[in-house]
């Protein structure tokens, strides 16, 4: 690449400075967009925040006609369906991660790992469609169906990250345990679970973050009824689902504003959960991993 002699050294330096500035501005647009998102959503939610105050979170009335809104059934549905998902996905995810990272030496393990990863690539809407026609007849359109579909969707997250975490435990720990005569189970109990503990917790919490914000699949199977019921076979409703169902049709400003406030509650919950997960994962596998 020959240099154009008419371009002086000084001009090249300014061009370098320009390049740096332009790329920086594009990079800077990411936090700015994030800030804009928060500002605009809070602005939209202000009418609802002003009218209902803190009572919004504790009220379970949702009546667009009388314009009284409360978030409690949705918060409850979001938390409980995610909890059911964790109860199912955590043992399966950790178990399969242990099998793939520590136990299996056979060749199928590569294929099994790819298959679990592919679970994460299937679009939410397709899980929803499958859920309506397969889980629906089994468990009804209910909290349980929502939890099960969420479990399938977060399983690959938990499995993939905890697999990385197990792998990051130094081999010397495992070899030491084995040299003392430990069986494979004892090796994992003694030498792997200890150093991997916070990473595993991080993987679980990251899975929780995914479950909380997941929309379509849950919307299609959870039954969409804003009631707090003790039975997991009863229909329920989540924050994301009510937004998906009602946002496009919100007829009044207060109604729209209340839905945006639900979105902000969801945003806050997921931000806290994801932040916690990130800290825990950083502690074990270092900051360079993309999760």
Partner 1 sequence: MENGRQKQYFLRKIKDRVFLLAVFVCTLIAVLPLLFVLSHILLKGLGAINLDFFLHLPTPVGEAGGGMGNAIIGTLILILLACGIGLPIGILGGIWLAQFGDGKRGFFIRYSADVLAGIPTIVIGMFAYALIVIRMGRFSALAGGFALGLIMIPTIVRTTEELIKMVPRSLYEAGLALGIPGWKVTLRIIFRTAWSGIFTGIMLAVARIAGETAPLIFTAFNTPYWSFRLDQPMASMTVTIFNYAISPFDDWHAKAWAGSLVLIFAVLGVTLLVRKFSKQVQYG
Binding flag, residue 248, partner 1 (CB under 8 A): yes
CA-based angle 278:284:285, to the nearest 5?
A: 85
Scan residues 36-55 and list those touching partner 1 (CB under 8 A).
36-37, 40-41, 43-44
Of 48-56, 69-77, 190-198, 214-222, the window that binds partner 1 (rule: CB under 8 A) is: 214-222
Of 53-61, 162-170, 192-200, 266-274, the window that binds partner 1 (rule: CB under 8 A) is: 266-274
The mark string for 132-171 relative to partner 1 (x by CB under 8 A, - otherwise) is xxx-----------------x--x---x------------
Tell me the two tokens of residue 204.
Answer: 């679980």
Helix-strand-coil split of the chain, %, nearest 5 = 75, 0, 20
How far is C-alpha 49 from the chain's CA centre? 26
- Give which of 55, 87, 84 is closest to 69, Cα–Cα: 55
Give the E-state strand segments of the chain in sequence order: 62-63, 68-69
Select the residue interacting with partner 1 from 57, 87, 126, 138 (CB under 8 A): 126
Element (H, E) at 11: helix 9-52
Binding flag, residue 252, partner 1 (CB under 8 A): no
Binding flag, residue 190, partner 1 (CB under 8 A): no
As a residue count, the chain comes to 291
Binding flag, residue 290, partner 1 (CB under 8 A): yes
Of 143 and 259, which CB lies nearer to partner 1 in the complex structure? 259
Select the residue interacting with partner 1 from 6, 30, 53, 66 (CB under 8 A): 30
């Amino acid at each position: 690449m020959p240099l154009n002699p008419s371009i002086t050294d000084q001009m090249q330096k300014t061009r370098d400075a320009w390049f740096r500035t332009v790329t920086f501005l594009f990079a800077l647009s990411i936090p700015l967009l994030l800030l804009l998102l928060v500002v605009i959503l809070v602005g939209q939610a202000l009418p609802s925040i002003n009218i209902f105050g803190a009572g919004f979170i504790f009220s379970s009335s949702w009546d667009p006609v009388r314009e009284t809104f409360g978030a409690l059934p949705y918060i409850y549905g979001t938390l409980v369906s995610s909890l059911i998902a964790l109860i199912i996905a955590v043992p399966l995810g950790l178990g399969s991660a242990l099998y793939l990272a520590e136990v299996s030496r056979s060749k199928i393990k590569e294929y099994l790992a790819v298959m679990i990863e592919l679970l994460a690539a299937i679009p939410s809407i397709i899980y929803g469609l499958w859920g309506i026609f397969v889980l629906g007849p089994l468990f009804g359109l209910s909290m349980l169906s929502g939890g099960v579909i969420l479990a399938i969707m977060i399983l690959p997250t938990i499995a993939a990250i905890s697999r990385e975490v197990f792998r990051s435990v130094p081999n010397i720990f495992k070899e030491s345990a084995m040299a003392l005569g430990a069986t494979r189970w004892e090796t994992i109990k003694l030498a792997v679970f200890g150093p991997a503990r916070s990473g595993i917790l991080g993987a679980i919490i990251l899975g929780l973050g995914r479950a909380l914000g997941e929309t379509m699949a849950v919307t299609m199977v959870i039954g969409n009824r804003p009631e707090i019921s003790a039975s997991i076979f009863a229909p329920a409703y989540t924050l994301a689902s009510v937004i998906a169902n009602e946002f496009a049709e919100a007829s009044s400003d207060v109604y729209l504003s209340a839905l945006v406030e639900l979105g902000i509650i969801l945003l806050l919950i997921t931000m806290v959960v994801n932040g916690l997960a990130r800290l825990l994962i950083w502690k074990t596998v270092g900051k360079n991993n993309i999760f």
